[in-house]
Amino acid sequence: MLAVLSVFIVTVLCITTAVWWLQDTWTFKKSLLHGATLFTTVLFGWIPSVVVGNDLHKKLEKEI
């Protein structure tokens, strides 16, 4: 659970940082709270978390 949440948070921060770098006048906070950034995060942010969670689940199943 901790790994999945950590990957999701890192993904959100990466998307927000990309938006912040591409916008000249926006602050990091405005980039984080913008509707398009939130939509992109909801649309794509869960995919790396699912991949990591699936890998960890398979690894733990082999050990048991």
User: What does 1-64 look like in DSSP terms, one character per residue?
Assistant: -HHHHHHHHHHHHHHHHHHHHH-SS--HHHHHH-HHHHHHHHHHTHHHHHHHHHHHHHHHHHH-
What per-residue confidence (pLDDT) applies to 64? 77
Domain count, the chain: 1
Residue 57 lies in a domain: no
Q: Which domain holds residue 17?
A: 1-39
Under-70 pLDDT residues of the chain: none
Residue 12 lies in a domain: yes
What per-residue confidence (pLDDT) applies to 59? 95
Residue 4 lies in a domain: yes
Residue 59 lies in a domain: no
Residue 17 lies in a domain: yes
Q: Is the pTM of this model over 0.85?
A: yes
